[in-house]
Amino acid sequence: MVYFIATPIGNLGEITFRAVDTLKSVSAIFCEDTRHSRILLERYAISKPTYSYHKFNEAKQTEFVLSFCERGEDVAVISDAGMPCVNDPGHTLVNALKEKGYPYTVVSGPSAFVNAFVLSGYEPPFTFYGFLPDKKKDRDNLLDASVGVAIFYLSVHDLKENMSYLAERLGDRECCLVKELTKSHEQARFCRLSDEIEDDKGEFVLVVNRGKDVNPLCALSVSEHLDYYIRDGMSKSDAIKAVAKDRNLPKNEIYKQTLR
């Protein structure tokens, strides 16, 4: 059996009895960073062989994990904080286990974006995006003004740039910026995406509230949105302008999407 186990996102006391018992019972523990995980394991007197399992060696180590399964041994997979596979390695292994028919399960625990969403007080549904892509083109393909409540992970180095981009792309929405979850200096700051945030350290989760008075047509695809206006009698050119205005996007971007 392979156990994907959630670990504390800050406060080391925030781990389940089942997680500790499982970590003590397995033959080996695969960690995103063995040095980081050693702090947690020593806290709970867990002495098991540890191996690195991160995005740079995931393919190779997946085969190593499968070798334990072939021998009928139990192993655990943990990330540095939170739930494996949520912006952390694990997807490759899960799919390999599915293909081979080996058993696996999840041991529940904390996940930063869930905590941040609760602290925000915003209403579901929400969409979790993780870290924004580096390239603007990839970001633009992912997001437009029709997005509802959205949750992002932000590094301190990208904090200002990411919030500025989101303000331009989604509109200057209300948001909840959460720092250092479950630690003694945890902070939930309510602001707007355009606000200047002066902070030089910490890990952040940004919960962006849904926009006010968003045109319900934005829930449609761009092509469906265009078709609605054209069926209503607009020319294609005017329909493109209307869709661009509704979605807070440049006209040329809507035009490009009509050519795809």
Determine the average pLDDT of the residues in 156-177. Answer: 93
Residue 227 has what pLDDT? 83
Three-class DSSP labels, 174-198 = EEEEEECCCCCCCEEEEEECCCCCC
- DSSP assignment of 117-129 equals HHHHTPPSPEEEE
Determine the average pLDDT of the residues in 129-133. Answer: 95
Q: Note the CATH number of domain 2-110.
A: 3.40.1010.10
Domain boundaries, the chain: 2-110, 113-208, 216-259
Tell me the C-alpha to C-alpha distance, in Å, between residue 68 and each of 17, 26, 74: 24, 11, 7
Determine the average pLDDT of the residues in 135-150. Answer: 90
Q: What angle do CA 235, 241, 247 make, to 5 degrees?
A: 130
Residue 215 has what pLDDT? 65
Residue type, 11: N
Determine the average pLDDT of the residues in 98-115. Answer: 96
Distance (Å, whole) CA 230 – CA 68: 60
Residue 260 has what pLDDT? 61
pTM of the model: 0.79
247 contacts 221 by C-beta, under 8 angstroms: no
- Mean pLDDT of the residues in the chain: 90
Residue 79 has pLDDT above 80, yes or no: yes
Task: Tell me the percentage of the chain whose pLDDT exceeds 90.
Answer: 70
Residue 188 has what pLDDT? 93
Residue 246 has pLDDT above 80, yes or no: no
What pLDDT, in 10s, does the model give residues 6-36? Answer: 999 999 999 999 999 999 999 999 999 999 9
Residue 213 has what pLDDT? 59
Residue 249 has pLDDT above 80, yes or no: no
Would you say domain 113-208 falls under CATH 3.40.50.300? no
